[in-house]
Structure 1
Amino acid sequence: MGRFRLRKLLFDDLDEDEIMRRVLKGSTSQRKRRRYIERDRLASHKRLYLDYFADTPVYPPNLFRRRFRMSRSLFLRIQSKVETYEPYFIQKRDNAQRLSLSSLQKITTALRMLAYGVATDFMDEYVRIGESTVIESLKKFVKAMVDIFSKEYLRSPNNENIARLLVNGKRHGFPRMLGSIDCMHWKWKNCPTTWKVASFDLWIWHAFFGLPGSNNDINVLERSPIFSELEQGRASAVNYSMAMRIQWNTTLLMRYI
């Protein structure tokens, strides 16, 4: 209740019991109750399954890849790994014995947020999932992905990977180029896919995040851990040759003749 009203009650000629009754009554009447929305989660799961994951889905594989930014087989592989690692994504029953959200619904919303940067309630009308659940699903999904796949994908390249990347770089017109540490200046809007500089599997083994405008070259090199191995002398062995070119200063040489 408001501060002014509470002060007025205290200074009124009322007994303590009456003041307490009015305070409790006022606080109860002004308390906001959370509105429950019946989203029909099972119908949403069924619609999502029939649209994309059934044996004969409504939308063909090319539309699945465009909307999920991956193939359906890759999505199902991620779903299986995440469900095994994180029980949060396993469909359970609540206290009323109703089935909760499925892993398809939770992972779909997490991927859409990561792929498109949409708002937390953007998928509510289709997937029928509340804002707080979307945020929780996104956090648990990202953590599970890092824990499961980091050893295989979030790592520096080994000798075999380096050889493969050099061959692909040479084929694209960039000989002896292993990769690019900063690709923000490359625009590929109207460029043929075959001319892209990234490796054919879009492998990224270093990522550094910060506020817009803060990631200039100096800040990245000073704060990013990408060169920490080099600084500590733990870089991979590399065989190379150096050709030295000596250019004589004719004027200086003539003085000694």
Structure 2
Amino acid sequence: MAVHRQQRATLGASSSRRPNSQPRMFIRRNPLEVVTHDDYFIQKRDASGRLGLSSLQKMTAAIRMFTYGVTADLMDEYVRIGESTARLSMKKFVKAIVSIFGGEYLRSPTSNDIARLLEVGQRRGFPRMLGSIDCMHWKWKNCPSAWKGMYSGHVNEPTIILEAVASYDLWIWHAFFGLPGSHNDINVLDRSSVFAALAEGRGPPCNYTINGHEYTMGYYLADGIYPSWATLVKTILAPHGKKKKHFATCQEFARKDVERAFGVLQSRFAIVRGPARYFQPEVLKDIMYACIILHNMIVEDERHLYLGADQFNYEANDDTPSEPISRDNIPEFMEFIAQHHRIRDRVTHSQLQADLMEHLWNMHGRA
């Protein structure tokens, strides 16, 4: 009996750790919005007049499945909820999260957001850097047998790919999820919308000068598999000389932002660290986006704990997501093609890389 008490005490202590306790704050703060959005979470009476499961029970079951990655049949002991009800609560909950909070916590950066990101990039030695881009694979345990060949990649197991752009404070600004694991980062980039606004002429102005050369587009830090585009800055694979070695060190250090974001996302939500158990890709997509939204909520809530928190005071601004563009504002087809070629310009990529190398060396490499 004493052993069981000790185990329960240990479990209670581990469940109150900060990464897993943060999503529970969502239940206490925002339950009404979820209940208002979907009447499934409203507590109802059955035919005999007894009250059924409360909204907090259903949301608690979904949150515990998020944070601990446990199966639905384990919810009966803690929340007193059946397996099928817990599974349905998860599906309803993630849909509500994406629908209610996606516009705020899964948005593209606004003009004020970009201004702050560029300022942080300037301080870190990469003027006009918008963040880091990379892909993460989520293993799909219950992938249908007919799809396993399409979804199996280099790990020989079915996976689904998430492409994300993250900033220094681990906020995920862009998320594109759903492509089969047989794709690589280049295939995903060709299908994602990360540069869609820029190609359509809707990107915010980003004019700057480095080492005497003028540029008109921001850029992301990427690893070696990505193409040599004007909007991507890669490292040097085999650097020779102090300048190139210093640039490679700085680039690889700053590019870890997105990998840190992936690591924190998986540590906070074990459901995306372990294998996916649902059969429908639409459900997995809602789960991934809901985890990213909750992750960004936590980043916003804990931003005051970061070093240099004044750089990331997003909540102090009334920025709203930009409204969809009307057809009258879409540039002509030839202008779109020209902008598309400017994004993929290899010459500009090489020039930008060389200018950043000189800038970083003049900044603190000489010491």
TM-score range, shorter chain: 0.5 to 0.7
Asked if residue 231 in structure 1 is aligned to residue 199 in structure 2, the reply is yes
Aligned-partner residue type, residue 23 of structure 2: M
Quote the offset at 1:223 in angstroms.
1.6
Query: Aligned to 2:71, which of 108, 119, 133?
Result: 119
* 1:103-182 alignment, distance < 5 Å: 103-169=55-121, 173=124, 175-176=126-127, 177-182=129-134
TM-score, structure 2 length as denominator? 0.42
CA RMSD of superposed structures (Å): 3.2
Q: Deviations over 1:92-115 (max 9, x none)?
A: 111111111111111112122223
Q: Which moved more, 1:74-83 or 1:208-217?
A: 208-217
- The share of aligned pairs that are identical, in percent, is 56
Distance 2:22 2:114 in 1: 26
Asked if residue 217 in structure 1 is aligned to residue 170 in structure 2, the reply is no
Aligned-partner residue type, residue 111 of structure 1: I
Match of 1:80 in 2: 32
Match of 1:29 in 2: none
Distance 2:76 2:19 in 1: 20
Query: Aligned to 2:16, which of 45, 60, 63?
Result: 63
**Higher alpha-carbon Rg:** 1
Query: Aligned to 1:97, which of 49, 59, 63?
Result: 49
Match of 1:41 in 2: none
Distance 1:132 1:169 in 2: 48
In structure 2, stretches of 5+ residues that fail to align are 1-11, 138-165, 214-350, 352-367
In structure 1, stretches of 5+ residues that fail to align are 1-58, 186-196, 246-257
Aligned-partner residue type, residue 20 of structure 2: R
Q: Label 1:149 to 1:108 Cα distance change in 2 as closer, same or farther (>3 A).
A: same
Distance 1:85 1:149 in 2: 11
Distance 2:90 2:114 in 1: 33
Q: Which moved more, 1:202-211 or 1:125-134?
A: 202-211
Distance 1:133 1:163 in 2: 45
Check whether the contact 2:108–2:173 (CA below 8 A) recurs between aligned residues: yes
Quote the offset at 1:167 in angstroms.
3.9
Match of 1:204 in 2: 172
Distance 1:69 1:124 in 2: 22
Q: Deviations over 1:64-90 (max 9, x none)?
A: 644344362x33223121112211111
Quote the offset at 1:137 in angstroms.
1.0
Quote the offset at 1:127 in angstroms.
0.7
Match of 2:163 in 1: none
Quote the offset at 1:163 in angstroms.
2.4
Check whether the contact 2:75–2:83 (CA below 8 A) recurs between aligned residues: no
Aligned-partner residue type, residue 194 of structure 2: I
Check whether the contact 1:91–1:99 (CA below 8 A) recurs between aligned residues: yes
Q: Label 1:169 to 1:133 Cα distance change in 2 as closer, same or farther (>3 A).
A: farther
- Tell me how many residue pairs correspond in the alignment: 175
TM-score, structure 1 length as denominator? 0.57
Aligned-partner residue type, residue 233 of structure 1: G
SS in structure 2 opposite 1:225?
coil
